[in-house]
Amino acid sequence: MDLSLRTCKKFVHLDLKGAPPRIGYFIELIQLFADLGANGLLIEYEDMFPYEGELQVLQSKSQPPYSREEIASIQDAASSRGLEIIPLVQTFGHLEFVLKHKVFRDLREVDCCLGTLNPNCDRGVKLVQEMLKQVMKLHPNSTSLHIGADEVYMLGLGDESKQWLTAPGRNVHQLFLGHVLKVAKSIQESLPNLKLIMWDDMLRSMTSETIKESGLVGLVQPMLWDYSPTLDVNNAVALMELYKSAGMSQQWAASSFKGSTTVHTCVTGTQRHVDNHLQWLNVASNLSAGIKLQGIALTGWQRYDHLSVLCELMPLGLPSLASCLQTLQHGSFTEEVQKKVIETLGTVEVADTERLSPRTSSTFGGAKLAELIVKLTSSLESAELRHFQNNMFVRGWFTSYHIQKKTVNPLIAQQIKTQAKMFLDAVEIQVVEVRAEMRLLYSDSTVQEWMDQHVTPVLEPLHNLLRDIDRVLQEMGLCI
């Protein structure tokens, strides 16, 4: 049992680039996070931040960003429960929400890659500096800032970078480190007491000497992330020891409680995320004394990136989050842990609808939506619905050939229609319920996006089939 992870700060990551909750639900979540044992929030606003001036174009177009007053209320709610807030602002990779705009297109490293900033352009550095300045101005009490810098794809493939790399002794590692150093130093000059954190993945292939000579040591603390339930403990320990040998003894870990199963997952499975945290406990117990673990961020991704579909909504991930936080506090996923989670939320597994059904005082905010989505997802994933067009009658008597030649058996066509309509009507009753409940917690644009991504693709083939049946029967002069 490792005390370093049990006693270090535990930050819940809020990924607001997808399905940002209505402010009332946001405040409710903050209270719940505190009740579950969190010490802070790692908030990634992206396009939900009220950027001003030249940066106003970065604001979400599908819904209004959080207002300055709402951001103040988020901080007040967190402060009232003793939760620290660390803003996360991407400064190199994953800048799709910035570089997708025409006005910033020329700042891309490679034109087809919307995520990576050209590190050779002063305007790009100034853009990042202005983003950081505006975010920190609205977070005057935050003592730490996360500058991202993960998954900087296509780095070194832009024309200016290729030119820079032609000089003897230069490589892509130095190109990466040089940009991060510029950003970190500029922050240090204006906010000298601010602690800086960065994702570690771009450092993993570097030698200890390369990192040591970069100038980043003492400026930035690495956050090593791994969300796998089968996390390689020895590899993670070796990486953290590598960073320590480079002079970075203050380090962070990052686990996951949702949003890392598949890009389109709708229902969170608790066990895989608990397993991830059990592996992190193993990592921490194998670290040398010289590594000073500052905390762990429990990430809850809402999208894989700015342009991907929505992952599980927050209510679906709360039982997992509670289980993971309690696992970290107790050092294992014991019966005591599960009892504590059930006392707080009513369940440790969101798919356990029997526990979610009763609307008791201990049921968590968003539980009804979670229950409805679990049921709807089960219906949408049923073989009968998802593969309806493969059933015997459709494949035997209502193929594209039959439609084209108008050689349709009306009796069987009516039978197909009746069965398809029965499935659709049952599911669409559930859809109406989900939509109504979701609107209480999320904006209309989020509700519509979720429906378009997770519901419409499954139901559309049946709607098309019904239209084809009606059209063909009508063309054949038969009653519909």
* pLDDT tens per residue, range 358-410: 444 447 999 999 999 999 999 999 888 887 887 888 888 888 898 888 888 88
The answer to whether 16 touches 310, Cβ cutoff 8 Å, is: no
Q: How far is CA 462 from CA 212, 384, 388, 389, in A?
A: 60, 11, 8, 8
Q: How far is CA 190 from CA 68, 152, 193, 387, in A?
A: 22, 26, 9, 59
Could you tell me if 422 and 306 lie in one domain?
no
**pLDDT at site 405:** 83
The number of C-alpha atoms within 13 Å of 291 and in the hemisphere containing its C-beta is 29
E strand or H helix at 266: none
Could you tell me if 175 and 249 lie in one domain?
yes
**pLDDT at site 301:** 98
Could you tell me if 273 and 398 lie in one domain?
no
Domain boundary among 341, 356, 371: 356
E strand or H helix at 171: none
Could you tell me if 295 and 441 lie in one domain?
no
For this structure, is 151 an active site residue?
yes
Could you tell me if 444 and 313 lie in one domain?
no
**pLDDT at site 362:** 46
Token pair, residue 180, equals 């991060």
Could you tell me if 265 and 346 lie in one domain?
yes
Give 455's DSSP letter: T
Residue whose tokens read 């929030």: 41
368 located within any domain:
no
**pLDDT at site 188:** 94
Domain boundary among 316, 341, 356: 356
Could you tell me if 129 and 170 lie in one domain?
yes
Nearest to 14 by CA among 40, 38, 53, 42: 42
367 located within any domain:
no
Q: How far is CA 397 from CA 32, 211, 469, in A?
A: 55, 67, 11
371 located within any domain:
no
245 located within any domain:
yes
From 70, 130, 151, 241, active-site residue: 151
236 located within any domain:
yes
**pLDDT at site 479:** 62
Could you tell me if 334 and 436 lie in one domain?
no
Q: Mark the ranges of the chain whose per-residue pLDDT is less than 70.
A: 1-3, 353-362, 479-480
Could you tell me if 187 and 309 lie in one domain?
yes
pLDDT tens track for 280-296: 999 999 999 999 999 99
- Residue 87 falls in which region: left (phi positive, over 0), alpha (psi -120 to 50) or beta: beta
307 located within any domain:
yes
370 located within any domain:
no
Could you tell me if 348 and 394 lie in one domain?
no
C-beta atoms surrounding 376 within 10 Å: 21
The answer to whether 110 touches 154, Cβ cutoff 8 Å, is: yes
Domain CATH for 245: 3.20.20.80
**pLDDT at site 2:** 53
372 located within any domain:
no
Residue 223: beta bridge partners? 199, 252
Total domain count, the chain: 2
Could you tell me if 332 and 410 lie in one domain?
no
The answer to whether 420 touches 389, Cβ cutoff 8 Å, is: no
Q: How far is CA 187 from CA 30, 64, 133, 142, 144, in A?
A: 28, 28, 8, 14, 11
Residue whose tokens read 């190199």: 92
Could you tell me if 436 and 350 lie in one domain?
no
For the chain, how big is the Rg over CA atoms in Å? 25
**pLDDT at site 153:** 97
Residue range(s) defining the domain that contains residue 192: 5-356
What is the strand order of the sheet 40-44 is part of? 84-87, 40-44, 9-15, 292-300, 250-258, 220-225, 195-199, 144-146
